[in-house]
Structure 1
Amino acid sequence: MHRLFTELEPSITVTEQNLADRVRYILRSNIFDGAELERLRREAVPSSNENATTGGAVPQVAEQPAHVDAAENTPVVADSNDDGTFTQELEIEQMRSTLEEAIMETRSTPLENRPRLPRIALSKRNRAVVRALNPMLVTYLEASRDLCETDSILFGAALAVCRIIGAKLSTAGRTTGQSSAIQAWRTRIEERIAKARALIGRLICFRSGNTRPRIVRTVRMAFAGTNVSLSQPDIMQKLTERIDDMKQRIAAWGKRIRRYTERSTRFNQNRLFQSDQKRLYKSLERPMVSGTGPVPNQADTVAFWRSLWSEPVNHSEGP
């Protein structure tokens, strides 16, 4: 196979192992069907009819110089004309059905439930798929009645491209402005607080006399990088100091989160006061809490408040 490849394409340098790997990749990925392989074999080796019964090895070799880049292990198109190269590999009808299915699915899906499309690489294969789908969109765009339908068509086309090239789609819907995600810094601080609380629990257990290996290992990790050892006579004092230090850190982290939350609330309220005061005042109103228990007795209520307001009490007021 390597000798025949060298005779067909003497300008391309490839090793026997690399050539065998490329043939194995094409066989496993099913890029070309049997008819396409046979056509490529006849074009590359028209006079070698005896190679047709060799199990398909020669057709792969004949197809290599036109469709495989010598620097990568993935097949790419080396033709100077990019248009329509991959439409020969992917059936047009299958692409059209994928596009139609994606557009119909997008039209019936609310905006917040649409999948998040990944950012795809600008490779020759991806550009060829996009160029093949662009002419199919003319019919849908001409029949579009408003901007929302045009948006659904374009999003469906992008979804079809991702499905054809095999890109991984996120199943979670897109987040809107009303339901923003938690900030990354706040998530990190909350994780630190959770770890610190777990460490305090382990230190308290060790101080109480729990000497399980897991507890002892955690205590040693807590004092890593210091001159404190568990065999010191003042280890209990060191444990108390370490626990107090962790509690102070937790309090500081919690104050940082509360300070940012209050600042963000003030900022949003000031901005809402400038744009919609009615909405601001409505958001500040506390909901009415209606009692669900039994109605209190009138005599008991009068006796309770009379004991607070009617009986004189002598208070010792200091300076």
Structure 2
Amino acid sequence: MLVTYLEASRDLCETDSILFGAALAVCRIIGAKVSTAGRATGHSSAIPAWRRRIEERIAKARALIGRLICFRSGNNRPRIVRTVRMAFAGTNVSLSQPDITQKLTERIDDLKQRIAAWGKRIRRYTERSTRFNQNRLFQSDQKRLYESLERPMVSGTGPAPNQADTVAFWRGLWSEPVNHSEGPWTEVVASQCAGITPMDPVIVTPDDVAEAVRRAPNWKSPGLDGLHHYWLKGFMYHTKTDFPDELKIHFD
């Protein structure tokens, strides 16, 4: 059925709909869950598992430091004492020995050093991940990489602009007629550019398209069609009559 429909397809949107229908049919056959709520509009804020584990260690160490400080200041509640005993489990330290205050201070300093080491590990891993993502982006989209490096991240937590002021600003730019006078420098630039050889047309071959699809992540967030790259890689059918030899894109 897929081959029959693809042979009759003459439109890119229709081909995309056919592939989406095939993907939906496969999901229903294998019993996979299909979301009917539509594509999510927000960005994913999932924290990597390695970072979540380290942050949990830091949180537990900070809680233990707080309990040890409370015990050192004279808080002898059963819950605090039980936590302190667990902190010194496996050692020869007793809570009734004379130098227990020194032992508590040493234990607190040790936990603080561990927290600092874990924090440096998170920063080191984050910098490494950033460099890796920038290298991949440099290979795929250099313009986007340079824009991300040059423009600072803009936070959306500030107050929203006033609608009336925004309309008045752009209306003053676009509604009023303006007569521009071309200066003599335009003729100089035109004469200098007259001898420049135009760029050759950019030719996108089927191999280029296939390579781009092959390198794309399988389950990356889809576009408006909701079709993941996994299905584009799996549903491939080539005909000599329907598929052109090359696609030419001319830039003026």
Given the two structures, how large is their TM-score scaled by the length of structure 1? 0.39
Higher helix share: 1
Q: Which has the higher contact order (CA 8 A, sep 6+)?
A: 2
